[in-house]
A = this chain, B = another copy of it.
């Protein structure tokens, strides 16, 4: 059986998703017996359409062409940003298409609306790629830990800040210099606010809390401190305490049912594997009442790792 998919946007993650679905099509078919084909790609930039990574004839410039195509059952939103992405996701759901997205900001800010719209239209929205990039954290919580009460989730969920902290700690760089190097190496955006102020981590923590505890707290309501105020002295002090400074996202469900959650630079003892997570890598601990501690580590961002997670959601919907 063949499933036809449309991609909205052909930027970095769009290209990774396309590559995962096409170059590994034989693996997908071997493991699932399913054929998944990208039928259309929405992309308004003619230069991108001509990049040669996908046949020019599958590109289109009008989302209606995708929404009105009854053969397309799954739409991958990879535009990024907030307003247009949300609008396109809602329109796709209302057109009866399943939606897959890596857009943590949109999912975390509009969780109830997205779920309600999906339910009303008999479709699903999936967002494995929104937290931890290639790390299969949402599938693990939903499926592999289905028979567990998860009591705590804690991790490093932002690669940009972890890269900056690693450079400050290992190379003795100042925050400003480390940020500049992260920007030069493509690990930080020109405007790094969402990463360095912990906003991106808060979006991901909000999603993790939904999955782990079934509790939705808007990311703007979470206790949040970024890394922009950190100095080399803070990192040296952490080292003197036998720790590394890490930007942790953490949520714990207490015995009385309340939840304590924060995004905050935290001194992590060297004995904790999170202290050893370097550069742009992410890692997430899940504390469970049956499985005990599970630690998942991998690349939290990037074209192919994010494409891998997008493709997994697409195949699971197929």
Contact = CB atoms under 8 A, between A and B. Distances in A.
B139 A308 contact: no
A31 B298 contact: no
Interface string A127-155: 01000001110011011111111000000
A315 interface: yes
Nearest to A144: B136
Interface string A247-281: 00000000000000000000000000100100000
Contact of A294 (B16, B20, B128, B298): B298
Interface stretch (A61-69, A172-180, A199-207, A284-292): A284-292
Contacts of A304: 289-292
Contacts of A292: 134, 298-299, 302, 304-305
Given A20-B290, A134-B294, A294-B296, 4 more contacts: A143-B143, A144-B308, A296-B296, A296-B297
Interface of A: 16, 19-21, 23-24, 27-28, 30-32, 128, 134-136, 139-140, 142-149, 214, 273, 276, 288-299, 302, 304-305, 307-309, 311-312, 315-316
